Structure 1
Amino acid sequence: MSGLVVVGNGMAGARLVSEVRARDGSLRVTVFGAEPWQPYNRVLLSNVVAGTMTPDQVRLLDRGWYADHSVTAVPGVEVTAIDRETRAVLTADGRREPYDVLVLATGSRPVVPPVPGADRAVAFRTLDDCGAILDAARTARRAAVVGGGLLGVEAARGLAGRGLPVTLLHRAGHLMDRQLDAEAGLVLEETLTELGVETRTGAVVTEILDGGVRLAGGGTVEADLVVLACGVRPVTGLARDAGLEVAHGVVVDDEMRTDDPSIFAIGECAEHAGTVYGLVAPVWEQAAVVADLVTGADKTSRYRGSRLVTRLKARNVELAAMGETHLTDDEAEIVRFSHRARGAYRKLVIREGRLVGAILLGETSAVGALTQLFDRGGPVPADRTGLLFPGVSGGVVVDSPVRMPDAAKVCQCNNVTKGQIRGCWESGARDVEAVAAATRATTGCGGCRDAVEGIVGWLCEQEGIPA
Structure 2
Amino acid sequence: MVQHTARRIVVIGNGMVGARFAEEVARRDPAGERVGVTVVGAEDEAAYNRVLLPGVLAGRYAPDDIRLPAPAESAAVAVRTGTAATAIDPARRRVTLDDGTGLDYDELVLATGARAAFPPIPGLAAADGAPEPGVTALRDLADCRRLSALARPGGPVVVLGGGVLGLEAARALAERGMRVSLVESSPWIMRRQIDRPAAQILAEQYSRLGVAVHSWRVAARWLPGTGLELDDGRVLPGDALVVTAGVKANTEIAAGAGIDVEHGIVVDDTLATADPRVHAVGDCAQHPGGGAGLVQPGWEQAAVLADRLTGTRPEARYTGARPVTRLKAEGIELTSMGEAEADDTAETVTIADAHGGRYAKLSVRQERIVGAVLLGFADPASAIARMYDDGAPVPADRLALLTGRPAPETGETGAGPATDPLVCRCNAVTRGGLETAWLDGARTRPDIAAATRATTGCGGCTRDVDALLAGWNGASPVAAP
TM-score normalised over the length of structure 1: 0.92
Give the structure 1 partner of residue 81 of structure 2.
75
Moved more, 441-450 or 7-16: 441-450
The reply on whether 1:434 has 2:440 as its aligned counterpart is no
The reply on whether 1:165 has 2:170 as its aligned counterpart is no
The reply on whether 1:35 has 2:43 as its aligned counterpart is yes
Give the structure 2 partner of residue 412 of structure 1.
425
The alpha-carbon distance between structure 1 residues 213 and 463, as it changes in their structure 2 partners (threshold 3 A), is closer
Contact kept? 1:14, 1:61, Cα under 8 Å:
no
CA RMSD of aligned residues (A): 2.2
Give the structure 1 partner of residue 412 of structure 2.
none
Local SS of the residue matching 2:379: coil
Moved more, 116-125 or 448-457: 448-457
The whole-number CA distance in structure 2 between the counterparts of 1:242 and 1:277 is: 22
Contact kept? 1:245, 1:258, Cα under 8 Å:
yes
1:367-408 CA deviation, whole Å, 9 max, x = no partner?
11101210111211011111111136x579xxxxxx973454
Amino acid at match of 2:464: A
Deviation (angstroms), 1:427:
3.8
The whole-number CA distance in structure 1 between the counterparts of 2:448 and 2:100 is: 43
The reply on whether 1:202 has 2:210 as its aligned counterpart is no
The whole-number CA distance in structure 2 between the counterparts of 1:45 and 1:463 is: 33
Moved more, 110-119 or 403-412: 403-412
The alpha-carbon distance between structure 1 residues 60 and 428, as it changes in their structure 2 partners (threshold 3 A), is closer
Amino acid at match of 2:253: L
Amino acid at match of 2:196: A
Contact kept? 1:269, 1:276, Cα under 8 Å:
no
Unaligned runs of 5+ in 1: 397-402
Give the structure 2 partner of residue 399 of structure 1.
none
Deviation (angstroms), 1:422:
3.8
1:223-270 CA deviation, whole Å, 9 max, x = no partner?
111110001011111111111122221111112111111111100001
Give the alignment of 1:194-343 within 5 angstroms. Answer: 194-210=208-224, 211-273=226-288, 275-328=290-343, 330-343=344-357
The reply on whether 1:6 has 2:18 as its aligned counterpart is no
1:312-335 CA deviation, whole Å, 9 max, x = no partner?
11111111000011114x231110
The reply on whether 1:54 has 2:59 as its aligned counterpart is no
Deviation (angstroms), 1:68:
6.3
Q: Report how many aligned residue pairs link the two structures.
A: 455
Give the alignment of 1:82-93 within 5 angstroms. Answer: 82-93=88-99
2:463 pairs, out of 450, 458, 462, with 450
Local SS of the residue matching 1:256: coil
The reply on whether 1:384 has 2:398 as its aligned counterpart is yes
The whole-number CA distance in structure 2 between the counterparts of 1:432 and 1:276 is: 28
Amino acid at match of 1:10: G
Give the structure 1 partner of residue 26 of structure 2.
21
Q: What is the percentage of aligned positions where both structures have the same residue?
A: 44
The alpha-carbon distance between structure 1 residues 404 and 442, as it changes in their structure 2 partners (threshold 3 A), is farther
Deviation (angstroms), 1:442:
1.4
TM-score normalised over the length of structure 2: 0.89
The whole-number CA distance in structure 2 between the counterparts of 1:10 and 1:431 is: 24
1:411-453 CA deviation, whole Å, 9 max, x = no partner?
1111223343344344444554433221111111111123334
Unaligned runs of 5+ in 2: 125-131, 410-415
1:4-37 CA deviation, whole Å, 9 max, x = no partner?
1100001011111111111112132211111221
Give the structure 2 partner of residue 356 of structure 1.
370
Give the structure 2 partner of residue 96 of structure 1.
102
The whole-number CA distance in structure 1 between the counterparts of 2:342 and 2:418 is: 31
Give the structure 2 partner of residue 400 of structure 1.
none
Local SS of the residue matching 2:423: strand
